[in-house]
Amino acid sequence: MIKWLGALLVAATLSLGVAMPTFAADKEKKIALQISDGSGETQTLILNVANNLQMHYGVDNVKIEIVAFGPGLRLLFKDNDNGNRIAALSQNGVRFSACQNTVQGMAKVLGHPPALNKQAIPVSAGIARIVELTEQGYTLVRP
């Protein structure tokens, strides 16, 4: 009986030991933030949300990707007034994806592609990137 209980305890401990990393991985949050309108208020809000998520979960416990497309791409324009905030969030691991379909569309209006923030990572299609992220377990949020 004692041996049986001992074996059960060892098995439970081992299973816990194996399960711990899996448990930690499950607790890591993955958030995709969509910005597709160009208002200044939305830009401020989405940067606030990213910042608040990192403060709430801890920088190392949450993966955040901001996907900008349509008018929302203005967030990632080179001279956007939020440049310092974007740089700070990027240093803390937030990824900024810039839709190239939107870039091409804007180029037709402007006569040249818009100059983008150096933190912007080109993705072929912003909406497709969001689909990919949700398939990878990201929670989509559109503030």
38 lines the binding site for another protein (CB under 8 A): yes
81 lines the binding site for another protein (CB under 8 A): yes
2 lines the binding site for another protein (CB under 8 A): no
> How far is residue 126's CA from residue 132's CA, in Å, rounded to a whole number?
10
- Could you count the other beta carbons within 10 Å of the beta carbon of residue 6? 10
116 lines the binding site for another protein (CB under 8 A): no
40 lines the binding site for another protein (CB under 8 A): yes
Q: Please say whether the beta carbons of 69 and 101 come within 8 A.
A: yes
- Binding residue for another protein, selected from 85, 114, 127, 128, defined by CB under 8 A: 114
| Of 69, 56, 66, the residue nearest 138 (C-alpha) | 66
Q: Between residues 28 and 81, which has the closer beta carbon with respect to another protein?
A: 81
- Could you count the other beta carbons within 10 Å of the beta carbon of residue 59? 14
Q: Which residues bind another protein (CB under 8 A)?
A: 38-40, 43, 71, 74-75, 77, 79-83, 106, 109-110, 114
